[in-house]
Amino acid sequence: MLWNSALVAIGGFFGAIARFGISNWIKQKYPSSFPLATLLVNLIGSFLLGYIIGKGWNDSWKLLFGTGFMGAFTTFSTFKLESMALYIHKQWKMFVLYLALSYILGLLLAFLGMKASSV
């Protein structure tokens, strides 16, 4: 049990650092009021998690990379916060676009990740 917690913590440590670095790089390279950084990180994470699950890795690897790394790399709370900010500021088109891209592409990429893992 302690080992499983350590695997999740180690994966989470590196996943959070990866998200922080990639998000900041995207925000500097493509400044926008649209939450592009969170969208891209979450879409990449959807594909990679689908790939990890599709590969059928053993439980230790799934805890390290699936639960730990991908759990910290992707961010549901930031997604919700940014969605609410678009809603509150009445940026309706960006709000709907952000939700649609996040959910539709997220599901599609998770599916494609699973398919890619079986090739």
Rounded to an integer, the average pLDDT of 27-40 is 95
Rounded to an integer, the average pLDDT of 88-100 is 97
Q: Which residues are annotated as a binding site for Na(+)?
A: 71, 74
State the greatest distance between any 2 C-alpha atoms of the chain, in Å, as a whole number. 47
Question: What pLDDT score does 25 carry?
Answer: 97
Q: Residue 112: pLDDT above 80?
A: yes
**Total number of domains in the chain:** 1
Q: Residue 8: pLDDT above 90?
A: yes
The DSSP secondary structure of 48-115, one letter per residue, reads HHHHHHHHT--HHHIIIIIIIIHHHHS-HHHHHHHHHHHHHTT-HHHHHHHHHIIIIIHHHHHHHHHH
Rounded to an integer, the average pLDDT of 10-32 is 97
Confidence band, pLDDT 50/70/90 cuts, at residue 110: very high
- Domain residue limits at 68: 2-117
Q: Residue 59: pLDDT above 80?
A: yes
Residue 68 Cα distances to 19, 36, 107, angstroms: 13, 23, 20
Query: Can you state the angle between helices 2-29 and 36-55, rounded to 10 degrees?
Result: 140
Spatial contact of 74 and 20, defined as CB atoms under 8 Å apart: no
Rounded to an integer, the average pLDDT of 74-78 is 92
Question: What pLDDT score does 1 carry?
Answer: 84
Contacts of 8 (CB under 8 A, 6+ apart): 63, 64, 67, 68, 71
Task: Kindly state the percentage of the chain with pLDDT values over 90.
Answer: 94
Report d(CA 70, CA 55) in Å as an integer.
Answer: 15
